[in-house]
Amino acid sequence: MRDDLTAELAPQLAVELGLKPAEYDKIVVILGRTPTVTELYMYSLMWSEHCSYKHSKKALRMFPTTGPYVLQGPGENAGVISVGDGWAVAFKMESHNHPSAIEPYQGAATGVGGIIRDIFTMGARPIANLNSLRFGTLDKARQRYLFEGSVAGIGGYGNCIGVPTVGGEVYFDAAYEGNCLINAMAIGLMREENLTSAVASGAGNLVLLIGSTTGRDGIGGASTLASQEFDEKAEDKRPSVQVGDPFEEKLLIEACLELLEAKLLVGLGDLGAAGLTSSASEMASRGEVGLDIDVSMIPAREEGMKPFEFMVSESQERMLAVVTPELLASAQAICTKWGLRSTVIGTVTDTRRFVVREGDEIVADMPADTLASDAPVYDPAMTRPAYLDEAQAFDPSTLPHPETPAGLGSALLRVLASPNVCSRAWIYRQYDQQVLLNTLERPGGDAAVIRIAGTKRAIAVSTDCNGRYCYLDPYVGAQIAFAEAARNVACAGGRPAAITDCLNFGSPEKPEVFWAFHESVRGMSDACRAFEVPVISGNVSFYNESFGSPIYPTPTVGLVGVLQDASKRMTMHFKNAGDVVVLLGETADELGGSEYLSTVHGVIAGAPPALDLEEERAIHEALLAAIEAGLVRSAHDCSEGGVAVALAECAIAGALGATVALDDDLAPASSLFSETQGRIVVTCAEADAEALTDLFVSRGVAFSVIGEVGGDRLVIEEKIDTSIEELEAAWKPTLERLVRGELQSEELHEG
Ligand X SMILES: Nc1ncnc2c1ncn2[C@@H]1O[C@H](COP(=O)(O)OP(=O)(O)O)[C@@H](O)[C@H]1O
Number of C-alpha atoms within 13 angstroms, CB side, residue 60? Answer: 24
d(CA 597, CA 674): 9
Whether the Cβ atoms of residue 119 and residue 90 lie closer than 8 Å to each other: yes
Phi, psi of 500 (to 5 degrees): -120, 165
Q: List residues near Mg ion by CB under 5 A.
A: 446, 488, 637, 639
Strand (E) or helix (H) holding 535: strand 535-541
Number of residues that bind ligand X (CB under 6 A): 17
d(CA 390, CA 472): 10
SS3 166: strand
- The interface mask with ligand X, positions 620-639, x = CB under 6 A, is -------------------x
SS3 290: strand
Cβ distance to another protein smaller for residue 56 or 438: 438
The interface partner of residue 102, options being Mg ion, ligand X, another protein, none and the CB cut-off 5 to 8 Å by kind, is another protein
The interface partner of residue 704, options being Mg ion, ligand X, another protein, none and the CB cut-off 5 to 8 Å by kind, is none
CB 340 to another protein: min, Å: 10
Q: What is residue 688's DSSP assignment? A: G
Check 50, 55, 518, 601 and give the catalytic one.
50
Check 55, 96, 518, 573 and give the catalytic one.
96
Whether the Cβ atoms of residue 262 and residue 321 lie closer than 8 Å to each other: no
CB 84 to another protein: min, Å: 19
Whether the Cβ atoms of residue 652 and residue 589 lie closer than 8 Å to each other: no
The interface partner of residue 238, options being another protein, ligand X, Mg ion, none and the CB cut-off 5 to 8 Å by kind, is another protein
The residues with which 424 forms a beta bridge, in sequence order, are none
Cβ distance to another protein smaller for residue 245 or 637: 245
Whether the Cβ atoms of residue 720 and residue 408 lie closer than 8 Å to each other: yes
Kindly report the number of other CB atoms within 10 A of residue 602's CB atom.
8
The interface partner of residue 444, options being Mg ion, ligand X, another protein, none and the CB cut-off 5 to 8 Å by kind, is ligand X
Cβ distance to ligand X smaller for residue 269 or 443: 443
The interface partner of residue 106, options being Mg ion, ligand X, another protein, none and the CB cut-off 5 to 8 Å by kind, is another protein
Cβ distance to ligand X smaller for residue 169 or 248: 169
CB 77 to another protein: min, Å: 23
Q: List residues near another protein by CB under 8 A.
A: 102-103, 106, 152, 155-156, 159-162, 212, 215-217, 235, 238-239, 241-248, 250-251, 301-302, 315-316, 338-339, 428-440, 451, 453, 566-567, 741
CB 643 to ligand X: min, Å: 13
CB 429 to another protein: min, Å: 6
Cβ distance to ligand X smaller for residue 170 or 319: 170
What residues numbered 472-531 form the site for ligand X, per CB under 6 A?
A: 488
Cβ distance to Mg ion smaller for residue 116 or 478: 478
Residue 445 in contact with ligand X, rule: CB under 6 A: yes
CB 463 to Mg ion: min, Å: 11
Kindly report the number of other CB atoms within 10 A of residue 107's CB atom.
26
The residues near 177 (Cβ < 8 Å, ≥ 6 apart) are 135, 136, 137, 140, 143, 546
Catalytic residue check, 50: yes
Cα 408 to Cα 48, 412, 751: the distances in Å are 52, 6, 10
Apex 287 CA angle, 286 and 292, nearest 5: 110
Cβ distance to Mg ion smaller for residue 39 or 169: 169
Among 108, 170, 226, 483, binds ligand X (CB under 6 A): 170
Name the closest residue to ligand X (Cβ): 168
**For the CA atoms of the chain, what is the radius of gyration?**
26
CB 63 to ligand X: min, Å: 22
| Sign of the alpha-carbon dihedral angle for 364, 370, 372, 375 | negative
CB 266 to ligand X: min, Å: 37
What residues numbered 405-434 form the site for ligand X, per CB under 6 A?
A: 424, 427-428
The interface partner of residue 161, options being Mg ion, another protein, ligand X, none and the CB cut-off 5 to 8 Å by kind, is another protein
The interface partner of residue 170, options being ligand X, another protein, Mg ion, none and the CB cut-off 5 to 8 Å by kind, is ligand X
Residue 131 in contact with ligand X, rule: CB under 6 A: yes
d(CA 219, CA 371): 18
The interface partner of residue 243, options being another protein, Mg ion, ligand X, none and the CB cut-off 5 to 8 Å by kind, is another protein
Cβ distance to ligand X smaller for residue 443 or 558: 443
Whether the Cβ atoms of residue 130 and residue 426 lie closer than 8 Å to each other: no
The interface partner of residue 436, options being Mg ion, ligand X, another protein, none and the CB cut-off 5 to 8 Å by kind, is another protein
Determine the straight-line distance between the first and last CA of the chain, rounded to whole angstroms. Answer: 73
Whether the Cβ atoms of residue 244 and residue 109 lie closer than 8 Å to each other: yes
Strand (E) or helix (H) holding 459: strand 458-464
Residue 558 in contact with ligand X, rule: CB under 6 A: no
Residue 732 in contact with ligand X, rule: CB under 6 A: no
Give DSSP secondary structure letters for 546-566.
Answer: ETTEEPPPEEEEEEEEEES-G
Cβ distance to ligand X smaller for residue 169 or 282: 169
CB 451 to another protein: min, Å: 7
Cβ distance to another protein smaller for residue 445 or 609: 445
The pairing of beta strand 535-541 with beta strand 495-504: parallel
CB 301 to another protein: min, Å: 7
The interface partner of residue 214, options being another protein, ligand X, Mg ion, none and the CB cut-off 5 to 8 Å by kind, is none
- The interface mask with ligand X, positions 282-321, x = CB under 6 A, is ----------------------------------------
Cβ distance to ligand X smaller for residue 358 or 446: 446
The residues near 112 (Cβ < 8 Å, ≥ 6 apart) are 129, 131, 153, 154, 157, 158, 184, 186, 244
d(CA 418, CA 596): 9
Give DSSP secondary structure letters for 61-103.
Answer: TTS----TTEEE-BTBSSEEEEEETTEEEEEEEEE-HHHHHH-
d(CA 412, CA 44): 52
The interface partner of residue 247, options being another protein, Mg ion, ligand X, none and the CB cut-off 5 to 8 Å by kind, is another protein
CB 184 to ligand X: min, Å: 10
SS3 432: coil
> What amino acid occupies position 266?
V
Residues catalogued as catalytic: 50, 96
Q: Interface with ligand X by CB under 6 A: which residues?
A: 131, 133, 165, 167-170, 424, 427-428, 443-446, 464, 488, 639
